[in-house]
Amino acid sequence: MIAVFHSLNTGCMPESKSRARARAKRLHIPQSHVVKGEHGWYIAPRNLHKKHDYSVYAALRSEGYPKGRAAAIAYSQANK
């Protein structure tokens, strides 16, 4: 149970919409960066600027990619 609580606080697992929006607000990230993936809600990184890039990030996270790897792939796709 401790591992589940820890992972929810660090954003490693998908979150509920309200929890993701609250965390984005606390981190001063625009609400538009909160996107729905297949299994839950994620906060897209600040270096992504278009809605399509956010959805690519959410899809990769839903497939199980770690945050950094998903962000790198989405960023490289955005800059092609």
Q: Where are the domains of the chain?
A: 2-78
Name which of 53, 12, 54 is nearest 36 in CA terms: 54
CA distance 74 to 79: 9
Residues 26-80: pLDDT tens digits?
Answer: 999 999 999 999 889 999 999 899 999 999 999 999 999 999 999 999 999 888 7
Q: 0.85 exceeded by the pTM?
A: no
Q: Which of residues 47 and 14 earns the better pLDDT score?
A: 47
Q: What are the φ and ψ backbone dihedral angles of 6, each rounded to 5 degrees? A: -65, -45
- pLDDT computed for residue 11 by the predictor: 47
